[in-house]
């Protein structure tokens, strides 16, 4: 284990670096793309497209279920070095995604039109465009469904540089779609939906071609392996319940906001979601590099390394996110004004963006813990307990709104619930993978509490700083907040072993340069 571990840690560092390069490119592209999209479509059409996309994405729970199974089983069989079993699992999963696509089309065509026309609040003059966009959104969603097994294959084989290049290409193509809208006179909302559908299928073709050439041992074939199919079915079935609860938590909130407040609030929420998605990549990139090794460590019988990766993954994911979130929380109004233009920014956008950053910090703790449990394949107790608690969000949020709560009350409710669910996750991990409570409290909980309390106090003191106005004041304030977050994390969040690991990684990179 001692010989393999430095190589594995180096691979994590290398893959994380590649994913951060990807993230920086995509962040720049996404920031510009959202601003241009909002300008070219207008606030009304932008809100309509996002709420329709959320209706289709409500079926994402099926994709998330299959995606989780794909990642787990491919990484597990690679960890055991069983290529024939890897090939059988891949084939079964591809056929499963084909069946899933058929289900999505059928359900989408039955339920979707009624939901768009009779449930969502859409102006009458926009209903025709909304119906057409809905059909294109289904095509876009199917392309993302069929891309999952090939994306999982690249990640399981830890080809993060390839994944980074493909993601950058995807971002550039999406930007090209928006720029093209400036030069057409047709209905921009309809054309936007059509071009995104075309772009999604082009990306599927790129993923498919690469995997077919690079991994020739992974061929799609008819498989008669009842034992593996049963194992996949059991895992997927239990995971389905958990992902349904997650789907209702995320997508149901957008629907509630639309019903109570209309599409303009969906626009504010969509901007907050973009901030959330962009920032959360700081921790997601690290987890994506660690995730395959958690499963491979379990498959090879190295439980100590699995626990080490899971605990360190939770802590580092949180701190990576906290470092960038703190200056954004302090300067959110100015960030949004520079991004979208001062005339486009509203108070709900600022409030949603700030609360979603707080929510993202809590969410960042979950994936490594969940991945350890999923590595074992014994997820029934985990999904049942977590799913029941998460499902309580929609009725509670609806009650809060019915009693007169504002739009942001839904996010406050979500944050409180997710904190409690995180406690449940750790308790279940203690039972299933024997995660020591003391280890998690000492390594994760205490450091993040110290850093969070410190940054929370400084956040409330930040408005008292005598900063100059304008862009210069923004730059000084952002740099000061970022420096404080880095210092607090380094001093209060990391222990001596963590600091040594960071220094070693950075030192090796500099020596190679």
Exposed, middle or buried: residue 502 (CB in 10 Å: 0-12, 13-18, 19+)? Answer: middle
Question: Does the structure show a pLDDT above 50 at 428?
Answer: yes
pLDDT in tens, 388-404: 888 788 888 889 888 88
CA dist., res. 157 & res. 78, Å (int): 8
**According to the model, what pLDDT value does residue 113 have?**
73
Query: In whole angstroms, what is the distance from residue 256 CA to residue 394 CA?
Result: 9
Q: Which pLDDT band, with edges at 50, 70 and 90, does 8 fall under?
A: low
* Banded pLDDT at 455 (limits 50, 70, 90): very high
pLDDT digits (tens, 9 = 90+) for 71-91: 777 777 777 777 777 787 788
The pLDDT, as a whole number, for residue 458 is 92
- Whether 491 has a pLDDT exceeding 50, the answer reads yes
pLDDT at 3: 47
pLDDT at 1 over 50: no
What confidence category does residue 359 fall into, taking pLDDT thresholds of 50, 70 and 90? very high
User: Residue range 219-248: average pLDDT?
Assistant: 71
User: What pLDDT, in 10s, does the model give residues 95-154?
Assistant: 888 887 888 888 878 877 777 776 666 777 777 777 888 888 888 888 888 888 888 888
Q: What pLDDT is attached to residue 446?
A: 93
Most confident among 1-15, 130-144, 348-362 (mean pLDDT): 348-362
Q: What is the dihedral of CA 337, 341, 344, 346, to 10 degrees?
A: 10
Query: 80-89, 197-206, 379-388 — which is least confidently predicted?
Result: 80-89
pLDDT, tens digit (0-9, with 9 covering 90-100), for 237-247: 667 676 677 76
* Structure token pair of residue 483: 């420096």
Phi, psi of 406 (to 5 degrees): -80, 175
Side-chain-side CA neighbours of 19 within 13 Å: the count stands at: 21
Residue pair 276/357 in contact by the 8 Å Cβ criterion: yes
Q: Would you say residue 503 has pLDDT above 70?
A: no
Can you tell me the distance from the alpha carbon of 67 to that of 51, in angstroms, rounded to the nearest whole number? Answer: 24
Rounded CA separation 7/3 (Å)? 7
* pLDDT > 70 fraction of the chain, expressed in percent and rounded: 85
Higher pLDDT, 29 or 272: 272
What is the structure's pLDDT at 276? 85
pLDDT band at residue 510, thresholds of 50, 70 and 90? very low
Residue 284 has pLDDT above 90, yes or no: no
**What span, in angstroms and rounded, lies between the C-alpha atoms of 104 and 121?**
23
Lowest mean pLDDT among 121-135, 316-330, 419-433: 121-135
Q: Are 228 and 85 in contact (CB under 8 A)?
A: yes
| CA-closest candidate to residue 444, choices 292, 316, 293 | 316
pLDDT surpasses 60 at 506: no
CA distances 230 to 62, 73, 234, 455, Å, are: 18, 13, 6, 49
In terms of pLDDT, which residue wins out, 8 or 290?
290
Which residue has better confidence, 407 or 82?
407
Query: What number is the average pLDDT over the span 345-353?
Result: 87
pLDDT at 7 over 60: no
Coil, strand, or helix at residue 249? helix
Distance CA 505, CA 501 (A): 6
What's the pLDDT at 82? 73
CA dihedral 248→193→180→48, nearest 10 degrees, is -60
Chain mean pLDDT for the chain: 80
First to last CA, the chain: 29
- The average pLDDT across 31-52 equals 76
Choice between 324 and 221, residue whose per-residue pLDDT is larger: 324
- Most confident segment among 27-36, 326-335, 369-378, 459-468: 326-335
Q: Between 222 and 148, name the one with better pLDDT.
A: 148
Q: Which of 65-79, 177-191, 480-494 has the lowest mean pLDDT?
A: 65-79
Chain centre distance of CA 55: 18
């Amino acid at each position: 284990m001692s010989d393999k571990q430095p190589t594995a840690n180096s691979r994590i560092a290398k893959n994380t670096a590649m994913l951060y390069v990807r993230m920086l490119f995509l962040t720049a592209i996404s920031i510009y793309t959202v601003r241009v999209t909002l300008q070219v479509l207008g606030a009304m059409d932008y809100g309509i497209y996002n709420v329709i996309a959320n209706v289709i994405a409500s079926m994402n729970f099926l994709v998330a279920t299959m995606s989780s199974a794909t990642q787990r089983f491919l990484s597990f069989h690679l960890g055991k070095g069983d290529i024939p079993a890897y090939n059988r699992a891949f084939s079964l999963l591809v056929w499963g995604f084909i069946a899933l696509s058929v289900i999505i089309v059928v359900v989408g065509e039955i339920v979707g039109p009624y939901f768009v026309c009779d449930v969502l609040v859409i102006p009458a003059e926009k209903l025709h465009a909304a119906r057409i966009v809905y059909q294109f959104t289904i095509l876009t969603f199917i392309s993302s469904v069929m891309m999952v097994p090939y994306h999982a294959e690249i990640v399981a084989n830890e080809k993060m540089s390839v994944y980074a290049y493909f993601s950058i290409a995807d971002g550039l193509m999406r930007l090209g779609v928006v720029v093209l809208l400036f030069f057409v006179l047709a209905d921009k909302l309809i054309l936007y939906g059509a071009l995104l559908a075309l772009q999604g299928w082009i990306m599927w073709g790129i993923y498919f071609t690469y995997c077919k050439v690079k991994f020739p041992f992974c061929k799609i074939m008819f498989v008669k392996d009842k034992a593996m199919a049963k194992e996949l079915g059991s895992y997927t079935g239990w995971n389905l319940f958990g992902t349904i609860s997650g789907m209702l938590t995320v997508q149901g909130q957008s629907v509630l906001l639309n019903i109570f407040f209309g599409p303009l609030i969906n626009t504010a929420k969509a901007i907050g979601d973009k901030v959330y998605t962009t920032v959360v990549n700081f921790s997601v990139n690290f987890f994506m590099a660690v995730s395959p090794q958690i499963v491979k460590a379990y498959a090879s019988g190295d439980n100590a390394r699995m626990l080490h990766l899971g605990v360190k993954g939770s802590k580092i994911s949180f701190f990576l996110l906290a470092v960038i979130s703190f200056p954004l929380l302090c300067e959110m109004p100015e960030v949004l004004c520079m991004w979208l233009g001062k005339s486009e920014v509203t108070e709900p956008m600022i409030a949603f963006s700030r609360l979603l950053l707080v929510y993202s910090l809590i969410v960042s703790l979950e994936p490594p813990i969940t991945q350890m449990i999923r590595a074992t394949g014994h997820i029934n107790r985990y999904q049942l307990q977590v799913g029941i608690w998460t499902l309580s969000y929609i009725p509670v949020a609806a009650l809060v709104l019915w009693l007169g709560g504002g739009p942001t009350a839904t996010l406050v409710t979500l944050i409180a619930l997710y904190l409690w669910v995180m406690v449940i996750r750790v308790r279940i991990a203690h039972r299933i993978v024997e995660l020591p409570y003391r280890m998690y409290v000492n390594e994760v909980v205490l450091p993040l509490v110290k850093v969070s309390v410190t940054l929370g106090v400084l956040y409330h003191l930040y408005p008292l700083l005598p900063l100059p106005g304008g862009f210069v004041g923004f730059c000084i304030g952002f740099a000061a907040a970022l420096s404080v977050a880095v210092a607090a994390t380094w001093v209060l969040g990391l222990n001596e072993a963590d600091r040594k690991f960071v220094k070693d990684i950075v030192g090796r990179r500099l020596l190679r340069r």
